[in-house]
Amino acid sequence: MASPRPAQLSRALLVVGLLVWVGIATLTLPAALNLALIVGGVALTVPLAWLGRRALDRQPTADRVVWVTTLVHYGVLIPLGVALLRAVSTYPDWAGWTLPLPRALGWLLVLPTGAAALLAVANLAWKGWGAPFAIALSQKLSVEWLYAWTRNPMVLATLAFLVALGLWFQSALFVLWVLGVVAPALLVFVKVYEERELELRFGAAYRDYKARTPLLFPRRPRR
């Protein structure tokens, strides 16, 4: 029996992820278990990034990159999605200190940051022929539009969107969770795994792009 191709594996893992997310979003869990999912689901990103990096460096071939990236991305995506869903759906139970800011401010920020995240996804699909994580690995290096200003507009917009949600919730703990747990985990993943994976797939083109474009915070594109 032939082994599944990466695209088939990706579709199967996406279905598994969707089923897990739908199931986990409707559960009522003890507070300790809920907190473990919210923190642990994000923290799992770090060891998976290191394990994936070791797997790439052990055998840095084109086929290996595709297989490892598919497995690592879904290994990160599924628990990360669980953590985000639990955090958003149960925030009143652990919201903690109330921020002395009007909820309207958070709502006003949710709209543009959410739109920016969607625009980053569209940018990758249009210019890189790919989709987030391993739903469809980019077929070419995306260096235009938002990606000309920062190498990780999707990460930046997602973090900004989550902070905006925290402001809308008026929850200091939610904002601290985003800045103190989610942001470091995603940046470790980008630096340890994703940059190496992109370098193996796109070679000198990615190294040149990396040299002239900032990691996260936007800067006017340089020729």
- State pLDDT tens for residues 175-215: 999 999 999 999 999 999 999 999 999 999 999 999 999 99
The CA-atom distances, in angstroms, between 123 and each of 130, 138, 145, 164, 191 are 9, 11, 7, 22, 21
- Give the whole-angstrom CA distance, residue 161 versus residue 166: 9
Q: Which amino acid, residue 82?
A: V
- State pLDDT tens for residues 42-93: 999 999 999 999 999 999 998 899 999 999 999 999 999 999 999 999 988 8
CA neighbor of 199 nearest in space, from 74, 92, 69, 83:
69
Q: What is the pLDDT of residue 189?
A: 98
Q: What is the pLDDT of residue 5?
A: 75
134 close to 198: Cβ distance less than 8 angstroms = no
Q: What is the pLDDT of residue 134?
A: 62
57 close to 136: Cβ distance less than 8 angstroms = no
Q: What is the pLDDT of residue 203?
A: 94
37 close to 78: Cβ distance less than 8 angstroms = no
The CA-atom distances, in angstroms, between 126 and each of 37, 45, 138, 145, 209 are 34, 27, 10, 10, 18
Taking residues 163-186, what's their average pLDDT? 96
CATH topology of domain 6-212: Four Helix Bundle (Hemerythrin (Met), subunit A) (1.20.120)
The CA-atom distances, in angstroms, between 218 and each of 12, 27, 127, 131 are 35, 39, 18, 21
Confidence of residue 106 (pLDDT cuts 50, 70, 90): very high
- Beta-bridged to residue 98, according to DSSP, are 171
Quote the pTM value.
0.92
Per the prediction, the chain carries an average pLDDT of 91
- Give the whole-angstrom CA distance, residue 170 versus residue 92: 10
DSSP-derived letter for residue 132 is T
For a pLDDT cut of 90, what percent of the chain falls above it? 72
Q: What is the pLDDT of residue 1?
A: 38
Q: Looking at the predicted structure, is the pLDDT value of residue 128 above 50?
A: yes
